[in-house]
Structure 1
Amino acid sequence: MLMKKITKILVGTNNSGKLKEIRGLLPKSLEIYSTADFKIKSPAENGRTFKENSLIKARYFSKKSKMICLSDDSGLEIDILEGNPGIYSARWGGKRGNFIKAMNRVFKELDKKNKNWKTKKIKARFICALTIYGPNQKTISSLGKVEGHISSSMKGENGFGYDPIFIPKGKKITFGEMKPLQKYKMDHRFKAFKKIKKFF
């Protein structure tokens, strides 16, 4: 059976930063809808992995909208913190998803582990799981990762989430300090999207 190219899609997220980034990755010819167009609230994310949570969101938003949906679940893993915040990345920001609060919590947890952590390279990575799910559509999943380390302070106003404290491998500046185009070409979301873009 020949795979029909997807011509319209719902981006399954209520996070405006993610929506903007995913829109930037999708082909210009695609008809793109957001969850706000359908006024759909987000489901409970009770999966144990990024991939499971991505599928939960894609399936939920697709069933509510009767559309093919592309959903993302992503977060920051820090080795010295046993991989936390990981799938709880957004939850570290509290009910309102305040990432200043979340980044300060990262610093607090690192302080507990090692008072001198700022003088060391604290290994971390961003992970993104993307899922396409929908009526008459084979479920497609992909995973993207970008390795790096934690900045000793918050730097930069660009991006969203933990971008101001993550320095990708081989770079001297955080994602928060990068111009959006520079970040899009190397981040975890871009890497995950590259694996599924042939379906559009």
Structure 2
Amino acid sequence: MLKKKIKQLLIGTNNKGKLKEIRDLLPNNIKTFPTSKFNLKSPRETGKTFKENSLIKSQYFSKKTNLICLADDSGLEIDILNKKPGIFSARWAGKKLNFNKAIQKVYKALDKKDKNWRNKKINARFVCALSISDLNKRIACVVGKVDGYISKKPKGKNGFGYDPIFIPKNKIKTFGEMKPFQKYKLDHRSDAFKKLRKFL
């Protein structure tokens, strides 16, 4: 754990949706930089868990810029699909991060597994690993989760990624239908941030 408070952070993601959400969740007194400022491409994610991939990113971006880096690795786990897409959530969207394509891939996989899945509650969760690294030194690595179900069809234009097909437990709206402040009260990233606060 750092003895001094962190005053500036590189946000280690090239996903604009994640960048916005992380900035919204961070304390206002921390100055943030996007990876685009340094024209950095993301490293290869060779980890087997969200935690491992998050650390790969935060250490890589920190070494490239000499800045303390906060990186996120997150995704959607669907129980009936053996927790897929999981750590491959972004990769299901292809190089251009086309999440409409990824969502269709999820629905195809569900249809293949069970033709009647729309008449059932399909358990799923969003998982988020957040890590902070200072060059090779790991300052923190935490995991947040939110449980819920897969929507029968995509709903809502808010959020990003798989938000239009995820209904959190005890709610009727998808994350895609919620306003950001509603989503931030519930989601996996804010759950992880609660655990990260003592490091900020």
TM-score bin (small chain): over 0.9
> Is residue 155–residue 177 contact of structure 2 (8 Å, CA) maintained in 1?
yes
2:91 and 2:53 map into 1 onto residues whose CA distance is: 13
- Where in structure 1 are there 5+ consecutive unaligned residues? none
> Is residue 68–residue 137 contact of structure 1 (8 Å, CA) maintained in 2?
no
2:55 and 2:31 map into 1 onto residues whose CA distance is: 21
Equivalent residue letter for 1:39: N
1:93 and 1:107 map into 2 onto residues whose CA distance is: 13
Output the TM-score relative to the length of structure 1: 0.97
1:35–1:2 CA distance, 2 compared to 1 (3 A): closer
CA deviation after TM superposition for structure 1 residue 21, in Å: 0.1
Q: Secondary structure at the match of 1:146?
A: strand
- The percentage of counterpart residues that share the same residue type is 64
1:109 and 1:125 map into 2 onto residues whose CA distance is: 17
2:124 and 2:137 map into 1 onto residues whose CA distance is: 34
- Residue 126 (str. 1) matches residue 126 (str. 2): yes
Spell out, residue by residue over 1:41-62, the C-alpha distance to the aligned partner (whole angstroms, 9 max, x if none).
Answer: 1100010000000000000000
- Residue 47 (str. 1) matches residue 23 (str. 2): no
Equivalent residue letter for 2:139: T
Output the TM-score relative to the length of structure 2: 0.97
What residue is the counterpart of 1:112 in the other structure?
112
CA deviation after TM superposition for structure 1 residue 139, in Å: 2.2
Aligned residues: 200
- Where in structure 2 are there 5+ consecutive unaligned residues? none
CA deviation after TM superposition for structure 1 residue 137, in Å: 5.6
> Is residue 8–residue 30 contact of structure 2 (8 Å, CA) maintained in 1?
yes
What residue is the counterpart of 1:3 in the other structure?
3
> Is residue 59–residue 135 contact of structure 2 (8 Å, CA) maintained in 1?
no
What residue is the counterpart of 2:15 in the other structure?
15
